[in-house]
Structure 1
């Protein structure tokens, strides 16, 4: 299983450089970091804004005592994220139905702007892969400390001694936290993907949904396929995961019968082929889709309008 490492607009290893000021790329890096920790662009924006506000609240003397402003901002952003993750668990217990990460359109702000320099391409993948829905969903199942350690080390290449000062653990403990999160990834079949096969299966799934072709849906869906929908109590959605190809096929045919989608388009969702549904002149659903061995293994359908705001007016 490859390890998730890569570059943001600014590699975090450069925070060890002593720079007095930050650049616009540094803010992009902080947003990328916060989104991967929280799974929400809105929360990521708030966290980064909070981190900057804390910087400007420091006295001139306190600011001069800090050798690297970006290093300080990364530490503060990461700590705020860890606090948010801890409180988010309690909030999500009260969430109506399934909580899913916010899906992203093909927006370069949230992915790498340069190819990762890899010593061994077989052992590493790009930052773009770390933003996939499969990874973000998996990260919801680990502890806040594991998630922070994994994202900082395996995705952004921060060394364990630096992470230790952020999460309040020893470097060895941080190493174990990242390893534990990595094991979850290694067991997750949803992460294996062939790009060409993925696009072909998604296109075939779209066609079968549009034509109400039950038999084709059954052939495309893995027998153990899982469908999770997030309506957030704002719109009607399945409150529990839908398991199995027959139930999943009937669910999507039911959506067609209810004219849930007047149009379905193929779009990049979190960096991978997905589908977007349109109705009444707007986007009313975004599907992230995992494919393995030529079949759909997971579908994450977000219909909560609060999580679709970034898609409204989006032009691919």
Structure 2
């Protein structure tokens, strides 16, 4: 194989695999910017090889996935330390409808029953739950249940035995299953959120309290970039006053409900700019959790859908 053919093959591989690697990275890291950085580092590792070494790779897509998984493990391993310096609460990044980061590409022959543990949707409740797993559990679950890799393949990627990887994925799946048993359908969630949204806009705190679980919790992520509660707001009355206060303090904000990725979200806009995205967990017909992302750095996908590589 001559140098021109090697270069053409490299370019074609990068073009084809970028969207899939980004989707893997987002599910593993919960952040578009971190996913993009991980993809960039993966490509650096690819080009760090000699042309002869790249030519010897029989399956470039598998090589890239292995490298990406190892990069993500390193990032997840340092996440606890980095978040100690984060201002306020940290939340995964909510994705706008149509985001390339939301679309996995699963391997052929994967078990549909096992894949159902982590569906194609990327709800905030699921992403928060993934964030609570250990790095190894998260990587094993995402690669197997979402992207359809066999345990033997994942074992090679993460340097563990297939039996150890199977156990990691099984442990993680139990946590996911516990969460999914509490799930409501997208239609049920939409109905509850619509009622809650109307109460928010009315400013009637008493009515809003009725829409909330007595132990409701709001977690707001401003990242030190905008004003946000630094700690979770707990209890229906406090949550109701906090949410009603948003519309009082920011009268210029326009709010709307938008459906994407298996859930209904409340989107706050200031003019053409998205200022915040609230996502919800519904339990027993009431709102039990509100995740409010206000950090501008986590709202970049809402300013326009990412460009897909040509040919995707």
TM-score bracket, shorter-length normalisation: 0.7 to 0.9
Paired position in structure 2 for 1:70 = 61
TM-score by structure 2 length? Answer: 0.86
- The superposition leaves residues 42-87 of structure 1 with CA deviations (integer Å, 9 ceiling, x where unpaired) of 1111211221222122112101221100000000001000001111
Alpha-carbon distance, 1:165 to partner: 1.2
Instruction: Confirm whether residue 56 of structure 1 aligns to residue 47 of structure 2.
Output: yes
- Cα distance between partner residues in 2 of 1:157 and 1:121: 11
- Cα distance between partner residues in 2 of 1:209 and 1:117: 46
Paired position in structure 1 for 2:3 = none
- Cα distance between partner residues in 1 of 2:112 and 2:165: 24
Alpha-carbon distance, 1:156 to partner: 1.2
Which 5+ residue runs of structure 1 have no aligned equivalent?
1-18
- Cα distance between partner residues in 1 of 2:105 and 2:67: 26
What are the within-5 Å matches in structure 2 for residues 208-227 of structure 1? 208-227=199-218
Instruction: Confirm whether residue 297 of structure 1 aligns to residue 293 of structure 2.
Output: no
- Cα distance between partner residues in 2 of 1:34 and 1:56: 19
Q: 2:84 aligns with which of 86, 93, 98?
A: 93
What secondary structure sits across from 1:70 in the alignment? helix
Instruction: Confirm whether residue 250 of structure 1 aligns to residue 250 of structure 2.
Output: no
Does the 8 Å CA contact 1:269/1:287 hold for their aligned counterparts?
Answer: no
Alpha-carbon distance, 1:22 to partner: 2.6
Instruction: Confirm whether residue 182 of structure 1 aligns to residue 173 of structure 2.
Output: yes
Change (3 A) 1:272 1:95: same
Does the 8 Å CA contact 1:189/1:292 hold for their aligned counterparts?
Answer: no
- Cα distance between partner residues in 1 of 2:157 and 2:117: 25
How many residues end up aligned between the 2 structures? Answer: 296
- Cα distance between partner residues in 1 of 2:164 and 2:24: 21
Does the 8 Å CA contact 1:212/1:253 hold for their aligned counterparts?
Answer: yes
- Cα distance between partner residues in 1 of 2:128 and 2:168: 18
Alpha-carbon distance, 1:127 to partner: 4.1
Is 271-280 or 111-120 further displaced after alignment?
A: 111-120
- Cα distance between partner residues in 1 of 2:176 and 2:251: 33
Paired position in structure 2 for 1:9 = none
Paired position in structure 1 for 2:162 = 171
Paired position in structure 2 for 1:237 = 228
Q: 2:116 aligns with which of 100, 124, 129?
A: 124
Change (3 A) 1:47 1:107: same
Alpha-carbon distance, 1:187 to partner: 2.8
Does the 8 Å CA contact 1:37/1:81 hold for their aligned counterparts?
Answer: yes
Paired position in structure 1 for 2:194 = 203
Paired position in structure 2 for 1:8 = none
Alpha-carbon distance, 1:24 to partner: 4.0
What secondary structure sits across from 1:128 in the alignment? coil
Change (3 A) 1:190 1:229: farther
Does the 8 Å CA contact 1:185/1:191 hold for their aligned counterparts?
Answer: no
Which 5+ residue runs of structure 2 have no aligned equivalent?
1-8, 306-312
Alpha-carbon distance, 1:185 to partner: 1.6
What secondary structure sits across from 2:13 in the alignment? coil
What secondary structure sits across from 1:46 in the alignment? helix
TM-score by structure 1 length? Answer: 0.85
- Cα distance between partner residues in 2 of 1:169 and 1:126: 22
- Cα distance between partner residues in 2 of 1:122 and 1:61: 39
RMSD: 2.7
Alpha-carbon distance, 1:181 to partner: 1.3
